Amino acid sequence: MVKNIIVFGAGGHAKTVIDTLEKQGLYRIAGLLDGGKPAGSVIYGYEVLGNEEWLADRAGEIEGAIVAIGDNWRRSQVADAIRSLAPDLPFVSAIHPAAHIARGARIGAGSVIMAGAVLGSDAELGEHGIMYPGASIDHDCRIGRFVSWAPRSVSGGNVTVGDFSAIAIGAVLIHSVTVGEHCVVGAGSTVIRSIPSNTVAFGTPAKPVREREHGERYL
């Protein structure tokens, strides 16, 4: 049976999530929630119903939710708000049929894996992760919660990435390196040595350029 779900977000990233959900074909999108858009607005044929408070009286009408917000920290804040308002509402994952999920791979609830992305054998993508088109995470990697992999970002095997970190477009992480929590690895960078938590790093080879605060925008 197709489940009714709600999508949190109505911006550019939400459009890509909607497309992924439609291609997946497992859920019926009942509408969108976004405090930054007027109620009644229509995105790709789906109405903006209100903000998170909409759930307070209607959680029983919905069978799942997904947070379609690209910024890792903001996505976590909205996920926490949903848990407070509707603690029994499950988060669903959107996995495009053109993605490749290898044997033994594990995907956390609320994650989005777009067309052409590859999650390797026994790799783990934590809750509310994002893999954009062409992103590739190789075998036995451990990727934390609320982590984003931009288009064409790739890793070797046995890589670890901490919670809330963002791997930007075209970045490469060689095998067995660690990127800490709340990091940004810049576009086109090559990580050949581990990066400490709360760091912005870029270049080839990637080097730390400054510290980063929790909740700071990743772009």
Does 186 carry a binding-site annotation?
A: no
In the residue annotation, 139 being an active-site residue is answered as yes
Cα 122 from Cα 90, distance rounded (Å): 24
Does 107 carry a binding-site annotation?
A: no
Q: 13, 96, 128, 139: which is the annotated catalytic residue?
A: 139
- Cα separations in angstroms, 215 against 112, 115, 171, 186, 198: 21, 28, 22, 17, 10
Side-chain-side CA neighbours of 125 within 13 Å: the count stands at 32
Tokens of 80: 């926490």
Contact predicate 186/171, CB 8 Å:
yes
Say which residues have a Cβ less than 8 Å from residue 199's Cβ, sequence separation at least 6. Answer: 180, 183, 184, 208, 210, 211, 212
What are the backbone angles phi and psi of residue 207, rounded to the nearest 5°?
-130, 145
Contact predicate 79/112, CB 8 Å:
no
Cα 169 from Cα 189, distance rounded (Å): 9
What does 5-43 look like in DSSP terms, one character per residue?
Answer: EEEE--SHHHHHHHHHHHHH-SEEEEEEE-TTS-TT-EE
Tokens of 144: 């934390």
Binding positions for acetyl-CoA: 169
Catalytic residue numbers, as ranges: 139
